[in-house]
């Protein structure tokens, strides 16, 4: 994967305005309804849109981007989808939802402002934080979604794009409907985070099928955008949401093609003291047991098991990450499994 280009506030504003302009055009030309600010439901006719957005209705497929504000790679993906709906290259057969998550955070180049939006869904009592309010707005879309494809990016470089989601057979099948090539990371036996539900968890809890795609390191990278766009076209086609003129195969490095991973270990982030994660870790890089992962004060932290590293947390001085609370973990370590090892 190529390194992402540096995202700027101007680029982000341009993509947001492009999205909003496309939404305004779609509202004029197609059957549609606004579900919340910067979230639209659009369909082949007004009756289907009204049925989908009514209480208890079903939106066939929802596509979301910038749930984490600094993960901007999904912005050009969703605007390109809207553009092709407007030009007729994508012909809708059922209702779809398209939404931007955390615009305020995106404009500040931050993952979130008050709390992580992707840990804010399904909470019994949502706070009055900006992310809490946005979660309340987006939950109307998510709880009525039959399928969800949530587009994300990683903090550090990734050697491959990948799907990630809490284990459910229907989620696994949906991911493989989109691509048999992209690796899958799945997990079971507990929530990904103790703070609150991720978007895909919330959709699953409401009876839908939610998955997340991670394109690569945060930024506007044409190669990543193409992966996201192609994946979204496949999702539209596979769910019967649209007729798509052309579908291209998703290509990933051979060593990752069709692979499945789950957790093999997690290294907590020390709550106090000086912490230095060893430089150069990338997502899907192989570690052997005993590898030096970080230094905590004068002590070494080593990998307890071997496997592939996921989500290494570098907290760099002068960045938004350094201003917020410490991460819960230094990284995760994954192991490769076969489809036969997945839960029933």
Among 177, 35, 26, which residue's Cα sits nearest to residue 90?
26
Rounded average pLDDT over 121-129 = 78
Is residue 138 pLDDT above 90, yes or no? yes
Site of tokens 């997502």: 283
286 lies in the same domain as 245: no
CATH number of the domain enclosing 86: 3.40.630.10
Domain-embedded: residue 343 = no
3-state helix vs strand vs coil in the chain, percent to 5:
30, 30, 40
pLDDT at res. 46: 97
Is residue 191 pLDDT above 70, yes or no? no
Domain-embedded: residue 4 = no
281 lies in the same domain as 324: yes
Cα–Cα dist 331/312, whole Å: 4
141 lies in the same domain as 271: no
Domain-embedded: residue 128 = yes
Rounded average pLDDT over 103-112 = 95
140-151 pLDDT, tens per residue?
999 999 999 999
pLDDT at res. 111: 94
154 lies in the same domain as 184: yes
| Domain endpoint, select from 233, 254, 275 | 254
Among 68, 66, 132, 144, which residue's Cα sits nearest to residue 99?
66
Range of the domain at 235: 9-254
217 lies in the same domain as 273: no
- Please give the mean pLDDT across all residues of the chain: 94
Site of tokens 């990630």: 164
Domain-embedded: residue 341 = no
250 lies in the same domain as 270: no
Is residue 194 pLDDT above 70, yes or no? no
pLDDT at res. 148: 98
Domain-embedded: residue 2 = no
Domain-embedded: residue 1 = no
Rounded average pLDDT over 23-30 = 96
296-304, long-range: CB < 8 A, 24+ apart: 296/270, 297/273, 301/267, 301/270, 301/330, 303/265, 303/267, 303/333, 304/265, 304/267, 304/333
| Domain endpoint, select from 219, 254, 289 | 254
Domain-embedded: residue 199 = yes
User: Mind giving me the DSSP string for 52-108?
Assistant: HHSTT--EEEEEEE-SSTT-TTHHHHHHHHHHHHHHTSEEESS-EEEEE--HHHHHT
CATH number of the domain enclosing 308: 2.40.50
69 lies in the same domain as 196: yes
13 lies in the same domain as 142: yes
Is residue 2 pLDDT above 50, yes or no? no
For the ranges 57-61, 245-249, 250-254, the maximum mean pLDDT occurs at 57-61
Is residue 250 pLDDT above 50, yes or no? yes
Among 214, 263, 217, 209, which residue's Cα sits nearest to residue 241?
209
**Number of domains present in the structure of the chain:** 2
Rounded average pLDDT over 37-42 = 96
Domain-embedded: residue 3 = no
Cα–Cα dist 344/335, whole Å: 19
Q: In what order do the strands lie in the sheet with 299-302?
A: 275-277, 292-296, 299-302
Contacts (Cβ under 8 Å, ≥6 apart) of 243: 90, 91, 93, 237
226 lies in the same domain as 281: no
163 lies in the same domain as 307: no
281 lies in the same domain as 245: no
Is residue 42 pLDDT above 80, yes or no? yes
In three-state secondary structure terms, 3 is: coil
| Domain endpoint, select from 224, 254, 284 | 254
218 lies in the same domain as 278: no
Among 184, 200, 191, which residue's Cα sits nearest to residue 148?
200
pLDDT band at 319 (very low <50, low <70, confident <90, very high): confident
pLDDT band at 211 (very low <50, low <70, confident <90, very high): very high
């Amino acid at each position: 994967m190529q390194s992402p280009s540096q995202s700027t506030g101007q680029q982000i504003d341009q993509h947001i305005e492009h999205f909003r302009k496309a939404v305004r055009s779609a509202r004029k030309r197609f059957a549609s309804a606004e579900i919340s600010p910067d979230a639209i439901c659009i369909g082949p006719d007004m009756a289907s849109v009204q049925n989908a957005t009514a209480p208890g209705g079903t939106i066939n497929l929802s596509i979301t981007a910038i749930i984490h504000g600094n993960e901007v790679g999904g912005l050009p993906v969703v605007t390109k989808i809207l553009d092709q709906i407007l030009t007729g290259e994508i012909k809708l057969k059922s209702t779809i939802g398209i939404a931007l998550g955390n615009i305020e955070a995106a404009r500040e180049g931050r993952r979130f402002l008050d709390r992580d939006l992707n840990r804010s869904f399904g909470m019994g009592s949502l706070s009055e934080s900006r992310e809490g309010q946005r979660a309340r707005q987006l939950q109307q879309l998510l709880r009525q979604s039959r399928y969800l494809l949530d587009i994300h990016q990683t903090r550090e470089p990734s050697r491959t794009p990948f799907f990630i989601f809490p284990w459910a057979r229907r989620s696994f099948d949906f991911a493989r409907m989109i691509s048999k090539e992209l690796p899958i990371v799945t997990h079971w036996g507990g929530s990904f985070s103790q703070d609150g539900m991720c978007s895909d968890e919330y959709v699953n809890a409401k009876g839908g099928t939610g998955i997340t795609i991670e394109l690569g390191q945060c930024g506007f990278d044409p190669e990543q955008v193409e992966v996201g766009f192609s994946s979204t076209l496949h999702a539209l086609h596979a769910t019967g949401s649209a007729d798509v003129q052309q579908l291209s195969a998703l290509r990933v490095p051979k060593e990752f093609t069709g692979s499945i991973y789950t957790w093999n270990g997690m290294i907590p982030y020390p709550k106090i003291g000086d912490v230095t994660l060893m430089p150069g870790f990338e997502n899907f890089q192989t570690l052997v047991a005993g590898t030096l992962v970080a230094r905590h004060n004068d002590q070494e932290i080593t990998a307890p098991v071997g496997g592939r590293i996921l989500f290494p947390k570098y907290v760099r001085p002068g960045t938004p990450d350094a201003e917020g609370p410490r991460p819960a973990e230094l990284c995760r370590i994954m192991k490769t499994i076969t489809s036969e090892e997945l839960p029933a």
